[in-house]
A = this chain, B = another copy of it.
């Protein structure tokens, strides 16, 4: 298969490229280094130094003999994207190329506007390029469980049959998000659903929960192949951040009551989910939605898990509840369904003590690079 991965410099992008490449597929990775540059500007760089993409592709070739093509550019520029589609002729495109941070999107008007226009025009460009070049090409789009928010009803996988006044219809599951970033992802889904109906595109929208971990079969081959690992308030995900806090002796920051419950998954499982979706594509005219999580935890439960794992490793881990800078429910019903990817063949890697120890041990190796200032800044939603 020929795959374009957009956003290849990211936490998920680079491991995804290697995952496909290792399994014999032809891969072109595209990135504009947005996150790398933003993290530098905002003084919240990743824990582990990551070589640039050309360098990583060389390391990958050296170790595996396989080639990952790299192209640096901005998919907002339609001609650039179109030319990549024309030249590479992909069978599928994995779309991670979005401004991915909720706090970033809430920092200012400019960053909010950037998030909306970057994310939506990127998605719009992909749909248009595929319509123009090869409508059979399968779009695998990273959505987020955050699109659903925390409704008081069970969260189905993307769709909901509604009966009202004795009549029935099926709709996208109702969505309302708690940041501009998450709202931009709702809008992405609206856009893709429009193009699927209008142009019969094939789209898989993966509503992913927060990812943790850093180890995949490929990243483990060489330290220079690790993806960026963020632990800061802006680009980090919560479990990774908590483990860094534990190692740094920085009390785990729980926002408000800590009852916020979300679905989580291991980086290894993101690889599986995207791969399984690619080799079993959506039909023409189908917007296929999966809830990409493997288990749910409240923030309090996550904090307790990290505390226990940290204590067992000799760290004295404290938990500190602070005023919630976000506007969100701190206690709520949460029951997402997530059977679709299991049916495609996903074999989950759950959050065990062993998995946490693995992350602790990697973080320990880079503890000298932890920037305590980046962990919490209290970016307000309000």
Contact = CB atoms under 8 A, between A and B. Distances in A.
Interface of A: 78, 109-110, 112-113, 116-117, 120-121, 124-125, 128, 132, 151-154, 156, 160, 162-165, 167-169, 171-172, 174-180, 183, 186-187, 190-191, 193-194, 197-199, 327, 333, 381-382
Contacts of A168: 152-153
A147 to B, nearest CB: 10
Contacts of A183: 190-191, 194
What's the number of copies of this chain in the assembled complex?
2
A199 B109 CA distance: 13
A176 B193 contact: yes
Contact of A125 (B113, B176, B199): B113
Given A116-B191, A167-B333, 16 more contacts: A78-B113, A109-B125, A109-B132, A113-B121, A152-B169, A153-B162, A153-B168, A154-B164, A160-B162, A162-B174, A172-B176, A176-B193, A178-B198, A186-B190, A197-B327, A198-B381
Nearest to A381: B198
Contacts of A175: 190
B187 A167 contact: no
Given A113-B78, A327-B198, A164 B171 contact: no
